[in-house]
Amino acid sequence: MARIVCREVEEPHALQARNLVDLNDDIFLSISELLHHKDSLLVSALCRRLRTALLPRIFRAVRWAPAVREFPPKKLWPFVRIFTFSGYSIRQFTPAMHQDFAAQIRTGFVDMKLLNTVILESNVRGGLWPELLDAFSVLSSPCHLALRSHWNTTLSDEEYLLLEPRRTPIPLGIFTFAFPFVYEPDGQQVARRPAWSLALELYNVHTILAAAANTLSFINLPGELLPAMHGATYSALTELVLHGLWPVFLPSTAIPAAEDGYLQITSTRLAEPVEEDALVSEAKSEAAVLAEPSSGSSGEVAPPVSPLLPPTTVDESTITSEVGASIPTSKEMSFTEVHDSSVATAVDTVASTSRKDSLIPLDTAPESTVNTSSPTSLSRPQPSIALLALGSPPSPSESDSFTRPTPYSSANSSSVMSILEAMPNLRILDMCLLHQKDDPKPIGGVICAPDAPPRAPATFLRHLTRFDVASLSQEDRVLEFLPSLEYLSLTRYPSELPRRTVRSRQTPSTLSAMLGQAAFPHLTTLKIWYAIVSFNDLRDEEALLDLLPKKNPSLQNLEVCRRWKNLVPELEGRWDPVPVAKGLISHLHDLQVFSFDPDPPERFGKRPFTHATPEYRQYLGRLRDMAEEIVGAALWLQEIALHCEYGINLDLYWQVWKVVPGVDGNIKLEDLPEQIYKYYD
């Protein structure tokens, strides 16, 4: 009798991982992300399997200090994504060092196919040099160049480096030069860049930007160096960040002129002299201490936006080799004085009788001056040879060569406009800039003067969706030409001003005039601030609060900073911000997040809270009561935040509550969960 046998096929069971070696690479690498760099090194030493898996992660960021390490071995080059050059233990770079280090880096860059970030540490004296800049030309894809060292020096025996104008482009996608402020010798008070320092930085930064203008998508510069962007079209640029001080005068990027074997960079003489106090502070120091934190239009089609790399911190332990490097130690080597005939020819067009007028503007210089290689280094001349040599700041007796910046006019504000017009695909513009206390009055930065509109208003910054600006002039008209904005910030940034800096004051009337002439049909986020300093401002505030919902009915995120002048007698007893906030948000039915700074009078002149004291808890309870009352006028809100001034981080001064409906039908406020930050690696 036939039998039917049904044989059940067993489903294959995955092998259970019993140790780290059995894990696949994806799971293992996810786990290893939680390890500190030193712990990753220990794990990689356990066996070959783990070492092979961890190798790309361990050596994705390397730091080369030539004084103590050889260049990373060739077998590691394919894994390198972040390369940091350190000048540790090198007091002065010689020409031989520059050539040797740049040659090794250039050779390595050829095989670093994954390289996306190059960092020049702050201890690299003298800053970026020409041979190293040339090494970037061999990169296979655009990278991020982060300069944390500058070209100024305080040592009397060091040379100033000038970067050679390039005929061929270099592939840079991101460029950051984060030195927003220059400080007085005491290191506390913000100062303007001395003219000799400003001209040097303008020239070198312009050289870099001009060579990479076709590929740069992100630029971060000090506000004073904005003129360095003049003369090129940045068709790929999508984000521009400018922090520091507004440029109160916009000299063209200068070509230093050669005379008697030396190069000089000076400022152009203006009519009004600099005040004596400012001269003394500049003359006493070799150089101010720098703080690190923080063309025509084109109709080209907007390129796809590539993801921007966040600022990267490289672990100090990621030096890749244990073998010491052989470093030239001869300090007798010095730069050879170079006489460039093309530069000398250009100098003939300038008055030869005065050494103080040896500045050739880039936009008027002969073509040979711009395109021909200029000397790459600047030997510090003796004081007896030149009054205003680049290497020596002027003494008080030479103060007539330094001049007060001229106030903004339509002529120099149009220079800012022309620079922005050369960025046809810009999408994010951050100009959180301030003014130095000695700047010309009236205070306020100008982008678009009333008599100098864009040359092509219909195409001016058509792709711009986010605009952050601080201390903008009351007469500026740039907002009228930005209808594509989705995010506009006119906030009181920063909350606490650095010493000897000021910002222009916004009142309800000036803010109404600025926003009333503009139209933003796509605006979803608006951040504003204004000051109530008189009884008339209270009346003007009513007009402003009536204007905002009418002009921007689709707002989803609104931040209002209402500063109250507590010492004005006519305002005494009139502080009552809750009805103001309720009346405003009750007309914004799409609003989801509302942030409000009521500026309570009792907090006037007091320092921020640093600990959760009983006084702070009482103050926070008062703010919570205010928030609950405000939310009652707009039950559709999802979050509400009030300015509380707690902690040391000015950006975290907001106490945020989530708005949730209660079981009894009333709304309630819930504290947001505390953020958990990753402090390791």
User: pLDDT, tens digit, for every residue of 375-392?
Assistant: 333 333 222 222 223 333
Place of tokens 């399997």: 49
Say which range, 288-297, 531-540, 577-586, has the weakest mean pLDDT. Answer: 288-297
Q: How confident is the model at residue 555 (pLDDT cuts 50, 70, 90)?
A: very high
Between CA 249 and CA 412 the distance in angstroms is: 7
pLDDT at 207 over 60: yes
Q: Which long-range contacts (CB under 8 A, 24 or more apart) does 625-628 make?
A: 626/577, 626/578, 626/598, 627/657, 627/669, 628/667, 628/669
pLDDT attached to residue 645: 85
Three-class DSSP category at 63: strand
Q: How confident is the model at residue 636 (pLDDT cuts 50, 70, 90)?
A: very high
Q: How confident is the model at residue 610 (pLDDT cuts 50, 70, 90)?
A: confident
What are the structural domain ranges in the chain? Answer: 20-58, 61-248+288-329+405-494, 505-681
Of 4 and 286, the structure prediction assigns the larger pLDDT to 4
pLDDT at 360 over 70: no
pLDDT at 253 over 50: no
pLDDT at 235 over 90: yes
Residue 488 phi/psi, 5° resolution? -130, 125
Using the Cα atoms of residue 207, residue 213, residue 215 and residue 217 in order, give the sign of their dihedral.
positive
Say which range, 42-51, 318-327, 589-598, has the weakest mean pLDDT. Answer: 318-327
Q: How confident is the model at residue 640 (pLDDT cuts 50, 70, 90)?
A: very high
pLDDT attached to residue 82: 98
Between CA 128 and CA 203 the distance in angstroms is: 13
Residue type, 500: R
Give me the mean pLDDT over the 598-619 stretch. 88
pLDDT attached to residue 414: 60
Of 675 and 471, the structure prediction assigns the larger pLDDT to 471
pLDDT attached to residue 93: 92
pLDDT attached to residue 624: 95
Place of tokens 């203008």: 213
Q: How confident is the model at residue 364 (pLDDT cuts 50, 70, 90)?
A: very low
DSSP state for residue 472 in the 8-state scheme: B
pLDDT at 512 over 60: yes
Say which range, 34-38, 314-318, 465-469, 628-632, has the weakest mean pLDDT. Answer: 314-318
pLDDT attached to residue 649: 76
Query: pLDDT by residue (tens digit) across 60-105?
Result: 999 999 999 999 999 999 999 999 999 999 998 999 999 999 999 9
Q: How confident is the model at residue 301 (pLDDT cuts 50, 70, 90)?
A: very low
> What is the distance between the terminal CA atoms of the chain, rounded to a whole angstrom?
73
pLDDT at 122 over 60: yes
pLDDT at 648 over 80: no
Q: How confident is the model at residue 25 (pLDDT cuts 50, 70, 90)?
A: confident
Give me the mean pLDDT over the 219-248 stretch. 95
Place of tokens 């010309």: 440
Per cent of the chain over pLDDT 70 is 71
pLDDT attached to residue 8: 63
Between CA 146 and CA 160 the distance in angstroms is: 20
pLDDT attached to residue 40: 80
pLDDT attached to residue 359: 33
CA distances to 333, 553, 595, 661 from 638, rounded to whole Å, are: 67, 17, 11, 10
Contact of 162 with 374, CB cutoff 8 Å: yes
pLDDT at 349 over 60: no
Cβ neighbours around 324 below 10 Å, total = 11
pLDDT at 546 over 90: yes
- pTM of this prediction? 0.75
Of 650 and 544, the structure prediction assigns the larger pLDDT to 544
Give me the mean pLDDT over the 215-237 stretch. 96
pLDDT attached to residue 618: 93
Give me the mean pLDDT over the 38-64 stretch. 85
Query: pLDDT by residue (tens digit) across 132-143?
Result: 999 999 999 999
pLDDT attached to residue 365: 32
Give me the mean pLDDT over the 479-489 stretch. 97
Ramachandran region, residue 316 (left: φ > 0; alpha: ψ -120 to 50; beta: rest): alpha
pLDDT attached to residue 53: 81
Q: How confident is the model at residue 471 (pLDDT cuts 50, 70, 90)?
A: very high
Residue 5 phi/psi, 5° resolution? -110, 120
Three-class DSSP category at 488: strand
pLDDT at 338 over 50: no
Give the range with max mean pLDDT: 130-139, 248-257, 656-665: 130-139
Per cent of the chain over pLDDT 90 is 53
pLDDT at 342 over 90: no
pLDDT attached to residue 355: 31
